[in-house]
Amino acid sequence: MKHLFAEIPSEYKIKSLLHQKTYLVNGELKNWSGTTTDVLSTISSTKKYSPTLLGTIPQLGKEEALETLDAAVSAYDKGQGLWPTMKVADRISCMEKFVTQMKTKREEVVKLLMWEIGKSLPDSQKEFDRTVEYIYDTIEDYKKMDRDSAKFEKNSGVHAHIRRGPLGVVLCLGPYNYPLNETFALLIPAIIMGNTTIFKPAKNGVLLISPLLEAFQNSFPAGVVNIIYGRGRTLATPIMESGKIDVLALIGNSKSANAIQENHPRKNRLRLILGLEAKNPAIVLEDADLDLTINECIAGATSFNGQRCTALKIIYVHENIVEEFNKRFSKRIDALKFGNPWEDGVKLTPLPEPGKPAYIQELIDDATEKGAKIINKKGGETTENYIFPAVLYPVSKNMRVFEEEQFGPVTPILSFKDINEPLDDMAESNYGQQVSVFGSDVKTLSPLIDTLVNLVCRVNLNSAAQRGPDVYPFTGRKDSAVATLSVHDALRSFSIRTFVASKDNEYNNAILKELLDKKTSNFISTDYIL
Ligand code: G3H
């Protein structure tokens, strides 16, 4: 396969470089004159293949990491800070101000999403729009939460005014595959609940945050959102070692999550909100509708080149239909169009990690050495920035592609005779996010569903695995997640129930009444946000 070169449409050409020269600390976009790192796209702008330089970012060090930590700690100010004590309605106004400005940056962010991570134009637009919608939904859900807690309870002679309060200082790290959406799915609920934050953008998908820096700066009080650039380990290590972080919010890999949390000296202080890797299987039963199943398996395995934690990463097909499934599935894979993100109808796009094609090739070599075959014609064809999805069959447990989360374009297929084969594998696996089951006989499906819900956290019936709609719980068992994210759940994950209790007597009741009448406390309030 040759490097494809087609003239880049003028609106998507890189006409000037984006040099990010500042970082956001304590409400200031502070200039950085130290070392910088080049941001390169694996997409070529020239006929002869060569990565494209997009710009540079600061390579901050320990000193700047601790400077942003101080800013976030001071903004929280032992719970006395402006932000954690602010009225909910006022925090919501700040968030509304932010999202209004964010919407004006759609074009710039979408263009950078395509160049930085190779996401197709429609998917990049979807990522942006979905994130804006997520912010509005979060605001609405928070209003509802606030309305529901605008009341007193009385039990056994004790009045209680219960709300959800912030946890403190949050370190937020997002993944490269959804550098906007997944990061904001952590950052937005963390901020709105009254926490203060330090956010480091992902390694790939970093410049796309630049157009939003001013909106962060002018929408929230100083120190509430701090944004740093550089190597994850260099920056996260001193921040965690300080023991001052209350929440580690990370979407990424379990190994890095473990390494980062290890640095925290006070394990019980640290709350974890983690979305980690997965090896979501598809199980294709004998009576599955093959047209529908193949459509869903193609989408599940190949959307964004399989670089989704929710992607279908292994397919189990009943032995009686495996031949037919393989024939039709591989033909459909070969028909997928590869090209640059802005090309019409493109389904497969350049991989943002330069080492990814070689890694996928290693998985293919390992599998073929151990007896699997590449069953599609184009499988494994390579260019400088891509490797065409290989469909591997028959895959067995001793192959790396059976165990490892490939996070890229290769699909392993196994056949099964007894449903306990995939069930046992799932029970043994370190992961437990989702599964897709294809079939129609309810007698077979019922016990299967009843078991699968206890092995993973979402069973997709005749549908590909996915995170959305974002109102649904997104979580996993074992090494796949800690805590639950969704519009509704994230507000809870980033907060804790806290309350004011007072014995029911005249003395206390008079004070409570005065607190309510004079509206001097932002916590003790029965005001209703419409
Ligand atoms: O990388 C994991 C993402 O949460 C997947 O989200 O299923 O909407 O693509 P998605």
- pLDDT tops 90 at residue 418: yes
Amino acid at 387: I
Amino acid at 215: A
Cβ(57)–Cβ(397) below 8 Å: no
Ligand 1 center from residue 489 Cα (angstroms): 17
Q: Where are the beta strands (DSSP E) in 17-83?
A: 18-19, 22-25, 28-31, 36-44, 51-58
Cβ(227)–Cβ(215) below 8 Å: no
Cβ(72)–Cβ(196) below 8 Å: yes
> What are the beta bridge partners of residue 285?
none
Backbone angles phi, psi at 14, to 5 degrees: -85, 105
Q: And the tokens for 330?
A: 């591989």
pLDDT digits (tens, 9 = 90+) for 261-275: 999 999 999 999 999
Residue 177 Cβ < 6 Å to ligand 1: yes
pLDDT at 172: 98
Q: Rounded to 10 degrees, what is the CA torsion of 74, 78, 80, 83?
A: 50
| Rounded Cα gap, residues 367 and 173, in angstroms | 33
Cβ(54)–Cβ(18) below 8 Å: yes
pLDDT band for position 363 (cuts 50, 70, 90): very high
Looking at ligand 1, which atom is closest to the CA of residue 468? 8
Looking at ligand 1, which atom is closest to the CA of residue 175? 1
Query: How many other C-beta atoms are found inside a 10 Å radius of the C-beta of residue 136?
Result: 13
Nearest to residue 222, comparing CAs of 25, 55, 363, 48?
A: 25
| Rounded Cα gap, residues 124 and 118, in angstroms | 9
pLDDT at 6: 77
Looking at ligand 1, which atom is closest to the CA of residue 130? 8
Residue 481 Cβ < 6 Å to ligand 1: no
| Rounded Cα gap, residues 220 and 128, in angstroms | 21
Looking at ligand 1, which atom is closest to the CA of residue 311? 7
For range 82-103, the mean pLDDT: 98
pLDDT digits (tens, 9 = 90+) for 273-312: 999 999 999 999 999 999 999 999 999 999 999 999 999 9
For range 413-436, the mean pLDDT: 98
Q: And the tokens for 174?
A: 């997002």
- pLDDT tops 80 at residue 86: yes
* Cα 306-402-351 angle, rounded to 5 deg: 25
- Ligand 1 probe mutation, 113, 123, 183, 310, most atoms within 8 A of CB: 310
Question: Which residue, chain included where needed, has tokens 């039990």?
Answer: 155
Looking at ligand 1, which atom is closest to the CA of residue 303? 9
How many CA atoms are closer than 13 Å to the CA of 31, on its beta-carbon side? Answer: 1
| Rounded Cα gap, residues 436 and 419, in angstroms | 14
pLDDT at 530: 86
Looking at ligand 1, which atom is closest to the CA of residue 182? 4
Question: Which residue, chain included where needed, has tokens 């392993």?
Answer: 412
- The DSSP letter of residue 181 is H
For range 315-326, the mean pLDDT: 98
| Rounded Cα gap, residues 13 and 514, in angstroms | 63
Which residue puts its alpha carbon closest to atom 2 of ligand 1?
Answer: 309
| Rounded Cα gap, residues 88 and 94, in angstroms | 10
Secondary structure (3-state) at 511: helix
Ligand 1 center from residue 10 Cα (angstroms): 30
Q: And the tokens for 385?
A: 């920035």
DSSP output for 317-372: EETTTHHHHHHHHHHHHHTSPB--TTSTT--B---SSTTHHHHHHHHHHHHHHTT-
* Ramachandran quadrant class, 371 (left: phi over 0; alpha: psi -120 to 50; beta: rest): left
Residue 329 Cβ < 6 Å to ligand 1: no
pLDDT band for position 1 (cuts 50, 70, 90): low
Which residue puts its alpha carbon closest to atom 4 of ligand 1?
Answer: 467
- pLDDT tops 70 at residue 489: yes
Ligand 1 center from residue 310 Cα (angstroms): 5
- The DSSP letter of residue 396 is -
Residue 475 Cβ < 6 Å to ligand 1: no
Query: How many other C-beta atoms are found inside a 10 Å radius of the C-beta of residue 349?
Result: 27
> What are the beta bridge partners of residue 318?
416
pLDDT band for position 2 (cuts 50, 70, 90): low
- pLDDT tops 70 at residue 223: yes
Residue 431 Cβ < 6 Å to ligand 1: no
Which residue puts its alpha carbon closest to atom 6 of ligand 1?
Answer: 467
Looking at ligand 1, which atom is closest to the CA of residue 474? 4
Ligand 1 center from residue 53 Cα (angstroms): 28
Q: What does pTM read for this prediction?
A: 0.97
Q: And the tokens for 403?
A: 């165990």
Judged on CB neighbours under 10 Å (0-12, 13-18, 19+), 293 is buried
Nearest to residue 217, comparing CAs of 15, 381, 359, 30?
A: 30
pLDDT at 528: 85
Looking at ligand 1, which atom is closest to the CA of residue 308? 1
pLDDT at 3: 64
Query: How many other C-beta atoms are found inside a 10 Å radius of the C-beta of residue 334?
Result: 15
Cβ(244)–Cβ(49) below 8 Å: no
Ligand 1 center from residue 285 Cα (angstroms): 25
Q: And the tokens for 489?
A: 């759940």
Ligand 1 center from residue 66 Cα (angstroms): 32
Ligand 1 center from residue 404 Cα (angstroms): 18
pLDDT band for position 4 (cuts 50, 70, 90): low
| Rounded Cα gap, residues 464 and 455, in angstroms | 17
Q: What is the mean pLDDT of the chain?
A: 97
pLDDT band for position 131 (cuts 50, 70, 90): very high
Residue 178 Cβ < 6 Å to ligand 1: yes
pLDDT digits (tens, 9 = 90+) for 368-391: 999 999 999 999 999 999 999 999
- Ligand 1 probe mutation, 176, 466, 472, 487, most atoms within 8 A of CB: 466
Query: How many other C-beta atoms are found inside a 10 Å radius of the C-beta of residue 194?
Result: 23
pLDDT digits (tens, 9 = 90+) for 205-222: 999 999 999 999 999 999
Residues 6+ away with beta carbon under 8 Å from 180: 109, 113, 127, 128, 131, 205, 208, 209
Cβ(3)–Cβ(340) below 8 Å: no
